Structure 1
């Protein structure tokens, strides 16, 4: 799926691919990850340097999390899960990559909301401005079959529904409502 976005009147796009993992070792996963999903979202933006700094905010709702799938929670990159930043990945045109898996194949519903955002460097506050978002995930049925959820674009209302949670989770950051320029 290709998702367009606009930042400062400059057109960019995300190319999102979700597929079953056929070779777990090739992506740094244990053999038990075979058949689980991997998601790659590549940013294409012509800005350079600081004008191409973006971050990925990803939240997950899963029936095996502490809310039993009732609410979304942050999905930080495990090396930085204690860092006080909402970004799982951040950099110049950063690629989002995620390959969730479980040691067992018990029934499960797992959905991610992934958002590309940016933080103005000339602001006095740490501000997160969303640009584009998509939903993806997987389900495991009672026969241990893994089914991928289709990638779907998210709306400003989807982002806005997370604002209270984000503000509570990261009080040192300001999360703006999503106001698409497209």
Structure 2
């Protein structure tokens, strides 16, 4: 799936691929990750240096978490679970990689809402998240331990808006734009 966006008058895109893990070692995973999904989302954008900086915000709803799948929570990068940033990845046209897996293959559902965003660097405003495009992806495990992979599929702008109260509560030192600045376009 390719999603187009415009940031400061320049066009860019995100190419998102979700595939089944056939060789866990090839993606830096343990043997338990076999058959689970892995996501690779690549940013293409002509900006260089600070003009090409982006971040990934990912929220996850999982039926095996404390809420039983009732609500979305932040999905920070595993090495930085206590980070005070809403971004799980940030950098120069950062590639997002994620490979959720479980040791136990009990029935469950796992759904991610993933957003490419950026933070303008100005003298007066910092720590402000401006979403550009979003997509959903995930997996289900049935009672026979079969894993069904979902997505990626584009998210409507209203999905970001629905997460705003949670994002603001989790990251009070940050501000969040109310909706993506451009329409998502799937090509």
Shorter-chain TM range is: over 0.9
Relative contact order (C-alpha < 8 Å, sep 6+): which is higher?
2
Contact 1:76 / 1:88 at 8 angstroms: preserved in 2? yes
Unaligned runs of 5+ in 2: none
Q: How many residues align?
A: 182
Alpha-carbon distance between aligned partners in 2 of 1:29 and 1:151, rounded to the nearest angstrom: 21
Contact 1:55 / 1:118 at 8 angstroms: preserved in 2? yes
Structure 1 consecutive aligned stretches of length 4 or more whose deviation exceeds 3 Å: none
Contact 1:156 / 1:177 at 8 angstroms: preserved in 2? no
Contact 2:133 / 2:180 at 8 angstroms: preserved in 1? no
Query: How far 1:150 sits from its partner (Å)?
Result: 2.3
Alpha-carbon distance between aligned partners in 2 of 1:57 and 1:108, rounded to the nearest angstrom: 23
TM-score, normalised with respect to structure 2 = 0.95
Alpha-carbon distance between aligned partners in 1 of 2:149 and 2:139, rounded to the nearest angstrom: 4
Answering whether residue 141 of structure 2 is matched by residue 140 of structure 1, we say: yes
Answering whether residue 73 of structure 2 is matched by residue 73 of structure 1, we say: yes
Q: Deviations over 1:104-147 (max 9, x none)?
A: 11001000000000001004231000000000000000000000
Q: Give the match for residue 168 of structure 2.
A: 167
Q: Give the match for residue 7 of structure 2.
A: 7
Query: How far 1:83 sits from its partner (Å)?
Result: 1.3
Q: For residue 168 of structure 2, give the secondary structure of its aligned residue in structure 1.
A: helix
Over the aligned positions, Cα root-mean-square deviation in angstroms equals: 0.9
Contact 2:77 / 2:88 at 8 angstroms: preserved in 1? yes
Alpha-carbon distance between aligned partners in 1 of 2:158 and 2:86, rounded to the nearest angstrom: 19
Answering whether residue 154 of structure 2 is matched by residue 181 of structure 1, we say: no
Alpha-carbon distance between aligned partners in 2 of 1:110 and 1:76, rounded to the nearest angstrom: 15
Q: Give the match for residue 98 of structure 2.
A: 98
Contact 2:119 / 2:126 at 8 angstroms: preserved in 1? no
Alpha-carbon distance between aligned partners in 1 of 2:85 and 2:96, rounded to the nearest angstrom: 16
1:1-182 equivalences in 2 (<5 Å): 1-122=1-122, 123-182=124-183
Query: How far 1:179 sits from its partner (Å)?
Result: 3.7
